[in-house]
Amino acid sequence: MTALARGSAVNSGMNVSVTPLSVAGGEDGTPRLVSGELLALARACGADDCGVVSIEDRALREEAPFVAKAFPAARTLLALVGRMHREPVRSPARSIANLEFHASGHDLDEVARRIVRRLEEAGIRALNPAMAFPMEMDDFPQRGWIVSHKRVAEAAGLGRMGIHRSLIHPRFGSFVLLNTVLIAADVDELGAPVEHNPCVSCKLCVAACPVGALKPDGYFDFSACLNHNYQQFMGGFVNFVEDVADSRSARDFRAKHSYAETVTRWQSLSYGPNYNAAYCIAVCPAGEDVIGPYLADKAQHLRTVVDPLKKRTEPVYVVPGSDAAEHVTRRFPHKRARFVRQSARATTIRGFLTGMPLTFQPGQAGDLSAAYHFLFTGREAARATVTIRDRRVTVAEGHVGRPDLRITVDGATWVRFLNREVGLLRLLATGSLRLRGSPRLLAAFGRCFPS
């Protein structure tokens, strides 16, 4: 990858003048830009690093349909990096860390807006999705973002994702936020992924995670992270509202939510979403600007960065019967396990099927080895095969092989059951749910997906 295809990792300042963009016309009439000029524009508008990639890049095949839906004219994706300050992110005081996340995020959104304005002035159509919030929530808890900034940044050569599932920039490490500008023009030269992964495999992110969402073997427990880190908003907020509606009195409500928790939710509504933990990012030593002190004295890094987060006394939000609940009790007995309902609830059969790999609990699966055939009837008619074996789950369309348990149920009824609106015994007694095989396998299935 040449210097033209990837911006330097130094912000040259928002007020630096930029040579006007050279706009040429391609054979099909699509505008064509010079990569070096586009990247210089991004840096002048405030980006700490940047890169370009085509919407047709193979690494973005999953992203392309969503980008096209939001902006059909998109041809080039301009990936942007905004550097965060390290010490605020590392602070055990979550208000300090959250202020840094929000301030840096707002700055990066403004960078993207300035770029779009300059492109518009040059006659180039462009669009800047949000860096983080707000997102498209119509189909929540399914995908709510227009474009995955991580995937775009990786494809553009701005870093690689580490064990913690965040992008690690070669220079700034994990202390970055990302954004993307969708541009209705081609460029003369594209970026390419970096060959070296900056992740040093130190596993400090694994050690610091209070819910054990990150596993040493690379497995990521999505639901554990969602239920704790994002408890104050999204699905956690829905559960909060339903608790308010179900409470018979103020005393009944206070038995479900402490005074401090209610105020914390107000804080999220007033000042932006409050994350309960970003310890995986905070402890990461990777990146040229970051790794020096770690290599010089690893024990000191543990004492000053890792240990304060691990020793912090705090509520840790976990679903009863989950791997996360077992983890916090065993590894962090000084932290208080606060039991909550699953945030990533299914609202459709499609959401149930696509969400299973994200909410599956390997530890609860144990030595279970079984194949399940689901036959959903009604408006969301579907057939699916779910196989649980070797502490892994696979979901296949249609009925594959011979099942150990066959489950037939109306799709809408199954969703109501998942959301605790109707009980299992009632479904079985009324014939709304029919089983062919041992009912014990259904109970074993349920333990793998605690809610």
> How far does the chain reach from its first CA to its final CA, in angstroms?
47
67, 10, 73: which is closest to 39 by C-alpha? 10
- Provide the pLDDT for residue 174: 98
Collect all residues with Cβ–Cβ distance below 8 Å to 262 and sequence separation of at least 6. none
- Torsion, Cα of 184, 9, 99, 134 (10° steps): 10
Question: 49 forms bridges with which residues in the sheet?
Answer: 81
The CATH number given to 349-447 is 3.30.1050.10
Pairing of the two strands 336-339 and 49-54: unpaired
- Provide the pLDDT for residue 14: 47
- Provide the pLDDT for residue 19: 65
pLDDT, tens digit only, all 451 positions of the chain = 333 344 444 444 445 456 678 888 766 778 999 999 999 999 999 999 999 999 999 999 999 999 999 999 999 999 999 999 999 999 999 999 999 999 999 999 999 999 999 999 999 999 999 999 878 888 887 788 999 999 999 999 999 999 999 999 999 999 999 999 999 999 999 999 999 999 999 999 999 999 999 998 889 999 999 999 999 998 999 999 999 999 999 999 999 999 999 999 999 999 889 999 999 999 999 999 999 999 999 999 999 999 999 999 999 999 999 999 999 999 999 999 999 999 988 999 999 999 999 999 999 999 999 999 999 999 999 999 999 999 999 999 999 999 999 999 999 999 999 998 999 999 999 999 999 999 999 999 999 999 9
Whole-angstrom Cα distance, residue 349 to residue 2? 47
CA distances from 71 to 57, 125, 132, 279 (A): 17, 10, 18, 35
| Cβ atoms within 10 Å of 189's Cβ, excluding its own | 17
- Provide the pLDDT for residue 322: 97
**What's the whole-model pTM score?**
0.91
Whole-angstrom Cα distance, residue 175 to residue 159? 12
| Cβ atoms within 10 Å of 324's Cβ, excluding its own | 27
Q: Which fold has domain 3-187?
A: NADH Oxidase (3.40.109)
**Domain limits, the chain:** 3-187, 204-339, 349-447
